């Protein structure tokens, strides 16, 4: 039953992606608006899917990498829809929705095997840990996308090439604002997520820091994000440099989240 | 009955002639009075803008009517016959329709894709309606033309990019700042380009304009025109920290705004984006300032480069627009062609109705014994038989007229049914 909601949501995400990309080529706002509604519908279905899973197990369904991907996709779509309502920039959807679809497809690969969650991974602290980090990650993903678009737009305006592709991108100020808000909101989530994790690690592993590679890389990206937030809020960085640093920090976070598992042995579940 | 369009435009006639013509026809309603006096003219639309004077008519006898219109234009423009032959264009029927569609879609404009012309044609049409100078054909034709213009605008990118330097500056500002509401601009020096750009910025929501000039009185004068704020020339450095957009166009031989000034201003403004537009020759702003992060510097050549690119783009879009127009001209011609068979169809249906009416009256003597409902049913039956019989010939006539060969059929029907 819940998997059905997931599949319909995935299909709807896919349709909205196609719509958004078509709207880029056709340069029609109406198509983008329609895609936005499809995206909202997909998000609603996805919410139902997650809610059912949550009620079924009484813990969050994201205690494996597939569930997490699905949850991040949900959070990215949700935060984008919220921003869209505020900033009225339709075009970002064409960059956000493909990312959501890719994550959803990756997530669908593992949702079928309902591996039961070990006892050690139950409890509110783990749920907090996972929920905060995933939501934070979703916001950072959005910040990174806006940052990339900022760099492209900045390059085009500086290079005096403003007639073509540049028309499809939002204004520098809107992109900078999205990057700013996502980073500033993502940072406390990341921080508290790490704290929740280390408190819980103390109860399970006996100490809150094990030099686990996952912990190390997460800490590195935390420092990078701390730097971005500091530069933005205290020093008043804006625009290109802030965008660049948030992209680098996201690369670190992404590596901590997915890359580490490929290169190191980690005691982290995923 | 046929459509014709006569006129002069910026390509066919020099400004001096266009001026003479549009001034002399300037008063509202006046050209209509004179045009309606030409006996062949049934409907007439009169369009006068800075770049064109055109008369669109639906009339009976084309050749005589065109002569009458030529006389009207010659008299008003005070033109010699040679001048008129050189400047005046005359389009008939399909060509007239095509020209009108091109004009309303802004393909025939001096700046292709400019949006004003559609409004001007709409105004002209309103005046024509007010003067009761329009009828079935012109109403249909003008509404069709407005639809075509809308189609061209939405289906091609012909009006998408700015093709004047001052508009290009505004578009860039929007690319950087998004909406311009609440933004501030500093105008350094005076000059046509700077004033135009200032005007456009204000129209697009920039709500605070600061003017400065070496001659303070000039700054005050401009500030009054724009309801802005005049400041002393020495305060430029300080103001750079406060404004978002700077337009500079002084006659100064050296740079007025140095890289250091910009770098300092950026620190004071906490790196908020700054857009510098330097339209002066020689340049007012040190080009090195454009290398600073969060500063965007455009000089007059950069802006002109964008305008050139956009103009190229519009030419490409014009081809697309042209094929839309061809398609629409064909549609209109299809409708127009069916008009020649309309009188015959009306006569035919009229005759059938008369026969039905006559026969019903003749049957009155025995039908009066029937109830109301039965009489009604008989009437419905008779009418539907007649309509079914007439349906195929009517549709066939319209089809033949679209193919351009209705004449023998019209003649045959007239003869067989003994229509007038």
**DSSP symbols for A154-204:** HHHHHTT--SSGGGGSPPHHHHHHHHHHHHHHHHHHHHHHHHHHHHHHHHH
In chain B, where the domains are located: 2-155, 165-306, 337-416
Asked if the model's pLDDT at residue A112 lies above 60, the reply is: no
Secondary structure of residue A244 in the 3-state scheme: helix
pLDDT at B367: 83
- Token pair 């420092």 is found at A223
Q: Which residue of A has its CA nearest to B303?
A: A160
- For an interface test with B, the pick among A151, A173, A179 (most B C-beta atoms closer than 10 Å) comes out as A173
Q: Which chain A residues contact residue B310 at CB under 8 A?
A: 163
Q: Which residue of A has its CA nearest to B311?
A: A163
Q: Which two tokens stand for residue A149?
A: 């678009």
Residue B306 contacts A where some CB pair is shorter than 8 Å: yes
Give domain B165-306's CATH architecture: 3-Layer(aba) Sandwich (3.40)
Angle between helices B93-104 and B116-130 (to 10 degrees): 120
Asked if the model's pLDDT at residue A115 lies above 60, the reply is: no
Asked if the model's pLDDT at residue A30 lies above 80, the reply is: no
Q: Which of B25, B50, B87, B128 is catalytic?
A: B50
Structural Rg of chain B based on CA atoms: 32
Give domain B2-155's CATH architecture: 2-Layer Sandwich (3.30)
Angle (CA) B264-B269-B270 rounded to 5° is 100
- Cα separation, B349 vs B390, in Å, equals 8
Look at B176 and A171 and tell me if their CB atoms are within 8 Å. yes
Among A51-55, A175-179, B97-101, B217-221, top mean pLDDT goes to: B97-101
Look at B176 and A174 and tell me if their CB atoms are within 8 Å. no
Q: Is residue A248 very low, low, confident or very high in pLDDT (cuts 50, 70, 90)?
A: very high
Strand bridging mode B208-212 / B229-231: parallel
Among A108-122, A209-223, B167-181, top mean pLDDT goes to: B167-181
Q: Which chain B residues contact residue A27 at CB under 8 A?
A: 157, 160
> CA B287 → CA A2, A152, B189, B206, B282, distances in Å?
61, 22, 18, 25, 12
pLDDT at B10: 87
| Exposure class string for A146-165: b at 16+ Cβ within 10 A, else e | bbbbbeebbebbeebebbee
Q: Which chain A residues contact residue B298 at CB under 8 A?
A: 160
Mean pLDDT of the region A218-234? 89
pLDDT at B41: 85
Q: Is residue A113 very low, low, confident or very high in pLDDT (cuts 50, 70, 90)?
A: very low
Q: Which chain B residues contact residue A173 at CB under 8 A?
A: 176-178, 273
- Cα separation, B355 vs B340, in Å, equals 25
pLDDT at A250: 92
CB within 8 Å of A115: residues ≥ 6 apart: A64
Strand order in the sheet with B52-59: B41-48, B52-59, B2-9, B89-92
Q: Is residue A114 very low, low, confident or very high in pLDDT (cuts 50, 70, 90)?
A: very low
Structural Rg of chain A based on CA atoms: 19
pLDDT per 10-residue tile (average), chain B, 420 residues: 86 82 63 82 87 88 83 79 84 92 91 86 91 89 94 84 81 89 89 82 88 90 89 91 91 89 89 90 88 91 87 86 93 86 89 91 85 88 93 89 84 88
What percent of chain A is predicted at pLDDT more than 90? 12
Strand bridging mode B89-92 / B229-231: unpaired
> Is B50 among the catalytic positions?
yes
pLDDT at B24: 59
Mean pLDDT of the region A182-188? 90
Task: Round the average pLDDT of chain A to a whole number and report it.
Answer: 80
Q: Which two tokens stand for residue B259?
A: 């890289």
pLDDT at B253: 87
Q: What is the pLDDT of residues B380-416, one digit of tens each?
A: 999 999 999 999 998 888 888 877 788 899 899 989 9
Q: Closest CB to A239: pick one of B271, B290, B313.
A: B271
Q: Which two tokens stand for residue A211?
A: 């030099």
- Cα separation, A7 vs A48, in Å, equals 12
């Amino acid at each position: 039953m819940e998997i059905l909601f997931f599949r319909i949501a995935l299909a709807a995400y896919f349709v909205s992606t196609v719509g958004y990309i078509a709207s880029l080529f056709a340069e029609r706002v109406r198509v983008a608006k329609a895609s936005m509604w499809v995206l909202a519908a997909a998000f609603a279905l996805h919410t139902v899917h997650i809610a059912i899973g949550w009620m079924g197990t009484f813990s969050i369904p994201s205690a494996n990498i597939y569930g997490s991907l699905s949850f991040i996709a949900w959070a990215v779509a949700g935060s984008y829809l919220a921003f869209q309502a505020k900033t009225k920039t339709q075009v970002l959807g064409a960059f956000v929705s493909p990312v959501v679809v890719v994550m959803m497809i990756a997530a669908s690969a593992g949702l079928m095997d309902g591996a039961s969650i070990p006892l050690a991974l139950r409890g509110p602290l783990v749920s907090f840990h996972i929920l905060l980090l995933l939501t934070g990650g979703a916001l950072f993903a959005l910040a990174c996308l806006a940052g990339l678009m900022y760099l492209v737009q900045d390059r085009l305006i500086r290079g005096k090439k403003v007639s073509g592709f540049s028309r499809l991108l939002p204004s520098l100020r809107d992109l900078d604002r999205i990057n700013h808000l996502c980073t500033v909101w993502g940072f406390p989530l990341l921080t508290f997520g790490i704290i929740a994790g280390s408190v819980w690690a103390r109860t399970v592993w006996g100490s809150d820091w094990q030099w686990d590679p996952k912990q190390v890389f997460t800490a590195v990206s935390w420092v990078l994000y701390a730097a971005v937030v500091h530069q933005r809020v205290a020093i008043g960085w804006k625009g290109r440099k802030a965008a660049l640093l948030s992209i680098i920090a996201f690369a670190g976070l992404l590596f901590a989240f997915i890359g580490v598992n490929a290169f190191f042995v980690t005691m982290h579940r995923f | 009955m046929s459509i014709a369009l006569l006129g002069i435009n910026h390509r066919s006639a020099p400004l001096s002639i266009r001026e003479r013509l549009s001034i002399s026809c300037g008063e509202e309603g006046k050209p209509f009075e004179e045009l309606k006096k030409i006996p062949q003219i049934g409907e007439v639309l009169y369009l006068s803008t800075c770049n064109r004077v055109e008369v669109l008519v639906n009339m009976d006898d084309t050749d005589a009517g065109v002569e009458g219109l030529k006389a009207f234009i010659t008299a008003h423009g005070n033109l010699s016959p040679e001048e008129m032959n050189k400047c005046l264009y005359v389009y008939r029927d399909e060509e007239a329709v095509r020209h009108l569609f091109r004009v309303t879609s802004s393909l025939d404009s001096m700046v292709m894709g400019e949006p004003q012309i559609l409004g001007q044609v709409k105004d002209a049409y309103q005046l024509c309606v007010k003067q009761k100078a329009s009828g079935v054909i012109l109403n249909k034709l003008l509404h069709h033309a407005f639809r075509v213009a809308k189609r061209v605008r939405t289906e091609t990118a012909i009006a998408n990019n700015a093709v004047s330097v001052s508009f290009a500056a505004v578009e860039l500002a929007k690319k950087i700042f998004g909406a311009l509401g609440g933004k501030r601009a500093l105008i350094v020096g005076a000059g046509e380009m700077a004033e135009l750009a200032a005007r456009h910025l204000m129209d697009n929501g920039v709500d605070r304009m600061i003017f400065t000039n070496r001659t303070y009185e000039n700054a005050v004068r401009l500030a009054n025109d724009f309801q802005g704020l005049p400041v002393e020339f020495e305060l430029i450095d300080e103001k750079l920290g406060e404004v978002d957009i700077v337009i500079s166009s002084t006659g100064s031989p050296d740079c007025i705004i140095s890289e250091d000034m910009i770098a300092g201003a950026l620190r004071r403004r906490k790196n908020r984006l700054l857009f510098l537009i330097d339209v002066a020759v020689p340049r007012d702003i040190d080009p090195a300032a454009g290398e600073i992060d969060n500063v965007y510097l455009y000089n007059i050549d950069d802006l002109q480069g964008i305008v050139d690119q956009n103009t190229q783009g519009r030419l490409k879009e014009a081809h697309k627009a042209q094929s839309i127009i061809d398609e629409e001209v064909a549609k209109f011609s299809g409708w127009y062609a069916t008009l020649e068979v309309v009188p015959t169809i009306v006569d035919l249906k009229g005759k059938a109705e008369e026969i039905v009416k006559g026969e019903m009256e003749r049957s009155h003597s025995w039908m009066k014994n029937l109830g109301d409902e039965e009489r009604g049913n008989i009437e419905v039956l008779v009418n539907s038989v007649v309509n079914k019989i007439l349906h195929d010939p009517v549709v066939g006539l319209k089809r033949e007229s679209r193919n351009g060969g209705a004449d023998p059929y019209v003649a045959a029907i007239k003869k067989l049914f003994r229509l007038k």
